[in-house]
Amino acid sequence: MPEIKTVGLFLLTAITEVVGCYLPYLWLREGKTAWLLLPAAISLALFAWLLSLHPTASGRVYAAYGGVYIFVAILWLWVVDGIRPTVWDIIGASVALLGMTIIMFAPRQG
């Protein structure tokens, strides 16, 4: 199923982006080692490469990916930061995922 592959690729892409941004956050805000910048750079390079794997126009991929990123960021809030999402967080992430679904899987001409 191409839809499952697309969503899975988006999820993996979002995780690499969040990790790539979280590691410098740990260095800058929590005084962790600057060595975290190396895996952060690798993670962000992997993120860019994963975005390039989608077989559709880049603008469409970037727009749809944003919805998945929002979902993963809210999940990160809960799992990593230990903060339970509010009902508004869940509604917002759901709306973003609905937008991703419409953008990626709507019927298209030619």
Asked if residues 19 and 45 have their Cβ atoms less than 8 Å apart, the reply is: no
pLDDT at residue 1 in the model: 65
The domain ranges of the chain are 2-105
Residue 110: what pLDDT?
65
pLDDT along the chain (110 residues), means of 10: 85 96 96 97 96 83 90 96 97 96 86
Q: Assess contact for 36 and 27: CB atoms under 8 A.
A: yes
Nearest to 9 by CA among 39, 55, 50, 38: 50
Which amino acid is it at 95? V
Q: Quick one: pLDDT at residue 13? A: 94
